[in-house]
Amino acid sequence: MFTPLTGRTVLVTGGTKGIGKGIAGVFARAGANVAVVGRDRERGEAAAAELGATYVAADVGRAEDCERMAAETEERLGGIDVLCANAGVFPDAKLEDMSEADIDEIFATNVKGTMLSVKACMGALERSGHGRVVLTSSITGPITGYPGWTHYGATKAGQLGFMRTACIELAKYGITVNAVMPGNIMTEGLEGLGEEYLETMAASIPLKRLGSVEDIGHAVAFLASQEAAYVTGQTIVVDGGQILPESLEALASA
């Protein structure tokens, strides 16, 4: 029913680990030609070898890196049909303890990095004739809150503010811009938050499990598909129902 993604050229920022690696894997297994981006070269090359992808080193918070990332990807893959602007960081700090540097660091990757990645890839996406941008936002910020993540939540909501105007500006180039909003997804990064966090989190989700990186990859693949050509400026929440129960009782009494 869906047009195969075979031969599509796909650039995944933050594709060397976690959710981005899961997204890259879904595209690679569907026969797409994939480039994964991250700052750590060793990890990037290992991930690319495992996925059958190509690794491009870049810090998305730097404009010159993003320009080079887009040019190298276009040259190596022969174009860019899909940009998954997924690279993100989530250090935690309570507002009272937060420094200006903490705020700058998270905005540099999550907001500025998203904007610079899209800006750098616009030309290649237009040339593809069916460009797709899929951002990785979050439920945290646009919908929910979590202590320690005021700055993170602001960046994830900020990405959606960017998306809602970018989709209008890029429409004339035939490019759609959408976002996935993951709930709690099982990644190496999340594992570091500890057993107790993971168990409490799973208990608060109607589907009673954390998401997998493939759960996000499949939603991204839909937004990148031929069949999603008329969907732009929209979000898909992929969270096992986590944002819905109004109280613990609502969850327990189901």
Return the active site residues. 152
If binding is defined by CB under 6 A, does position 89 make contact with ligand NAP? yes
Contacting ligand NAP within 91-120 (CB under 6 A): 109, 113
If binding is defined by CB under 6 A, does position 87 make contact with ligand NAP? yes
Site string for ligand NAP, 223-252 (x = CB under 6 A): ------------------------------
Q: Which long-range contacts (CB under 8 A, 24 or more apart) does 25-30 make?
A: 25/51, 25/213, 25/214, 25/217, 26/214, 26/217, 26/218, 26/220, 26/221, 27/82, 27/217, 27/221, 27/224, 28/52, 28/53, 30/4, 30/5, 30/6, 30/221
If binding is defined by CB under 6 A, does position 191 make contact with ligand NAP? no
Cβ distance to ligand NAP smaller for residue 178 or 187: 187
If binding is defined by CB under 6 A, does position 192 make contact with ligand NAP? no
Answer yes or no: are the C-beta atoms of 8 and 82 closer than 8 Å: yes
Cα gap 240→107, rounded to integer Å: 27
Cα gap 55→2, rounded to integer Å: 28
Contact residue for ligand NAP among 185, 205, 221, 223 (CB under 6 A): 185
Cβ distance to ligand NAP smaller for residue 54 or 254: 54
If binding is defined by CB under 6 A, does position 188 make contact with ligand NAP? yes
If binding is defined by CB under 6 A, does position 138 make contact with ligand NAP? yes
Question: Which residues, other chains included, contact 161 with Cβ-Cβ below 8 Å and sequence gap of 6+?
Answer: none
Summarize as ranges the residues that interact with ligand NAP (CB under 6 A).
13-14, 16-20, 37-40, 43, 58-61, 86-90, 109, 113, 136, 138, 182, 184-185, 187-190
